[in-house]
Structure 1
Amino acid sequence: MATLLLALTLLSLVAAGIIVAGNMVPITLLDSAVARGAVCLDGTPPAYAYSPGFGDGVDNWHVYLQGGGWCENSSSCLDRSTTLQGSSAKLKNGNEQLNGMLDDNSTFNPDFYNWHVFKIFYCDGSSFMSDVEDVDPKHNLTYRGARIYDAMMDELLRIGMGNAKNALLSGSSAGGLATILHCDKFQALFHNTTRVKCLSDSGFFIHGEHFVGADWREAFFFDVVSEHGLMNTLPTSCISKFSPTLCLFPENVVPDIQTPLLLIESAFDMYQISENLYSPGDRSPRWYNCTHNLMFCNWIEIKIMKGTHS
C-alpha cells in the first residue's frame, strides 16, 4: 500500500508540473468499434494508448479508465463533443504520456512499472455506461459509453489479456466511478485462476442525503441518467433496490460488489467540496475562496466541510 500511495503522490506531482515523468505511447483509434456503434459523442471511433508488459510483469495487466466529469443535457453534451472528452478527433499529436501508476519507470511506479498498460480515453460523458441505439437527430450525438467499454474489453482479450495472472481495473474521477460500476463485469472476463482487483481513485461521489446539497447532487445525476439512458445499464443489484439516479452514487453500489475493490479518496475532495455541495445558484465567491484557502472560511463553512468528511 505504501508504494501504491507513492505512485499516486508522484502522479499528483506530475500533474502539478513539479515532476516531469512518464513514457510516451502512441494513441490508437479502435476503428473496428465503429461497426458496432461503439463511438464517441460526435460519432468518431474510441481511442486507447497501450504499453506492452515486460519482464516478470508480462502476465499482468492494468486497464485505466480516463475521467473527466459528465454531460447532463443535450447542450452540455454538444459542447463536450467539440472537445477531446467527446471526440477522438480532438486528441493532440498521436502520443500519450503515461505517468504515475501507468509509468514504466520502476522509480516512479515500483509496483506496476512492467505490467501491460491500457489507457482508455473518455469520450462519452456517462462514465462508460450509456447505450442508446438512436442518434440524437437534432445534434447528431451518440450515447454509447457502454459499447465503448465492451469494444475495448474485446480488444484487450484479442491482444492477450484473457491469459493474465493479475488484472487491475482502475480509473480516476468519472473514470473512478466507471471502475466501481464495471468492477464485477471486469472480473467476469477472466478465469478463476486470475487475480482481479479494481481501484477507484477520487471516484466516490457522495449522495449524502443528510448533507448540504443532496438535492442538487441527486438532481444532477438524475439529468445524467436521463440524458444518457442509463435506466437499464446500471448494476441490476442496485436498481432492484433504488432508483437509477441513486445507483450512480457509489454508496449504493459498493456494498454489492463481489470483486476486491480499493477506494482512494481524499478526506476533503476538492471537486466535491468546491463544486458539488451547492447548486450553481447557491455558490458564491466567498465559498469558492473558502474551499481554496481555509483562511477565508468562517466556522459555519468549516462545519459544513467537516460534515461531508464524517
Structure 2
Amino acid sequence: MGHRFWDDEESLLPSRFGNGQMADAKLGQWLFLLACAVTLLKAAGVPVEITYVQSAVAKGAGEKLNANMLITGGGWCNNVTTCVGRKNTRLGSSKQMLKAIAFSGILSNRKMFNPDFYNWNRIKVRYCDGASFTGDVAAVNPGSARNLPPSCTSKLRPGLCFFPQYMASQIRTRIFFVNAAYDSWQIKNILAPGVADPHGTWNECKLDIKNCSPTQLKAMQDFRVQFLSAIGGMTGCPLKGMFIDSCYAHCQTEMQETWLMADSPVLNKTHQLEQ
C-alpha cells in the first residue's frame, strides 16, 4: 500500500483527494491554533507608557484611591562592582527601561481577562535600585539600613529587615501576597544555584521537575515547608492576605496565561490562578 504525505494546501481541500475526515481533522487543528493565537493577542493588553514621578504628593498619591499597585522585583546588588554592573540595564536605570509595556493579567483593563480589578487604578512600580527600593541615587553604596523601617531595625539586624518574614509585618498598607510555594526562580537561584552545584546535578531537574530525583524532590518539598513557615506569621491580620499555590512557576499575576484564561480552575464560581 502506498503512503502519501499531506501538506497544508491538501488539508484545506478534502473533497479533492477523497479523504475528507482526515483533512477535516487537520483543518480543525489549524483553526484551534488560530483561535488560541487570537485569544492570546486579545489578552496581551494595551501598551502603557512609563511615568517618571518626581513627587508622589504632586501626582495626588496621597488621595484615597481604589488602586492595585504591583511592586516589581529584580534581585539585589551587594557591592559596588555588582551595583555598577547594573547601571546600563533596566535593573540599574529607568533610562534603560522600555518606554511602554503591555498591561495584562492582573493589570488588564478588560473585564473578560481581569474581572476583579479591570476598572481599578492599576499601577506598576518599576524596579532599578538593586536594593528593594531602599537605594539612594546620591551614592553607589547607599547604606540602605537608614531607609529600612526603624520598627524592624530597632529589634533585628538591618540585614534581616530585607526579608519578607521580618519586613511584611511592619507594612501598614493592605497587601496581598501571590506566590508559588515551589517558586522556579528561587529553586534555580537560591535552593540550587549553579555556584553551589559545580557538577550540574540539578540542571535537568531545574529545567523540568519531571526529571528530578527523589532526593531533589524531597529538597524542594522541604523548601516549601520552610517558605510556608516563614510567612505563617502574617496570617490572621485583616490587612494582609495571600494565595500560595503549588505551581513550579514565577511571577504569575502579570501573565494572562497564569492569571485568568477560559479553562482556569474555578472554586465556588471564583476563578483561581492556574494550577
TM-score by length of 2: 0.57
In structure 2, the residue matched to 1:193 is none
User: Deviation at 1:257?
Assistant: 3.9
Aligned residue for 1:107, secondary structure, equals coil
Match of 2:121 in 1: 116
Alignment partner of 1:84 is 2:90? yes
Residue 74 (1) aligns with residue 74 (2): no
Whether the 8 Å contact between 1:126 and 1:228 is mirrored in structure 2 is: no
The letter for the 1-side match of 2:178 is: I
Deviations 1:240-261 (A, max 9, x none): 2211111111112234444443
Alignment CA distance shift 1:73-1:243 (3 Å): same
Other-structure match for 1:24:
47
Give runs of aligned pairs for residues 163-174 of structure 1, distance below 5 A: none
Q: What per-residue deviation string (whole Å, max 9, x for no partner) do you get for residues 166-198 of structure 1?
A: xxxxxxxxxxxxxxxxxxxxxxxxxxxxxxxxx
Letter matched to residue 197 of structure 2: R
What 5-or-longer segments of structure 1 have no aligned partner? Answer: 1-16, 34-49, 51-57, 137-226
Q: What letter matches 2:211 in structure 1?
A: F
Q: Residue 110 of structure 2 aligns with which residue?
A: 105
Instruction: Give the C-alpha shift of residue 59 in structure 1.
Output: 5.1
Quote the residue 2:221 is aligned against.
Answer: 306
Q: Closer, same or farther in 2 for the Cα pair 1:307/1:61, shift >3 Å?
A: same
Cα distance in 2, alignment partners of residues 273 and 228 from structure 1:
29
Q: In the TM superposition, what are the counterparts of 1:126-275 in structure 2 within 5 Å?
A: 126-131=131-136, 133=138, 135-136=139-140, 227-275=141-189
| TM-aligned CA deviation for residue 280 of structure 1 | 4.6
The Cα of 1:233 is off from its aligned counterpart by: 1.6
* Cα shift at 1:109: 1.0
Aligned length, in residue pairs: 178
Amino acid at match of 1:97: A
Cα distance in 1 for residues equivalent to 2:171 and 2:48:
33
Identity in percent: 34
Give the direction of change, closer, same or farther, for the CA distance of 1:287–1:74 in structure 2 (3 Å limit).
same
Alignment of 1:286 with 2:201, yes or no, is: yes
In structure 1, the residue matched to 2:270 is none
Q: Give the aligned partner of residue 71 of structure 2.
A: 65
| Whole-angstrom CA distance in 2 between matches of 1:267 and 1:283 | 22
Paired letter, 1:290: C
Check whether the contact 1:102–1:109 (CA below 8 A) recurs between aligned residues: yes
- Give the aligned CA root-mean-square deviation in angstroms: 2.7
What is the identity, as a one-letter code, of the residue corresponding to 2:206? T
Residues 64 and 296 (structure 1), Cα distance of their counterparts in 2 relative to 1, 3 Å cut: closer
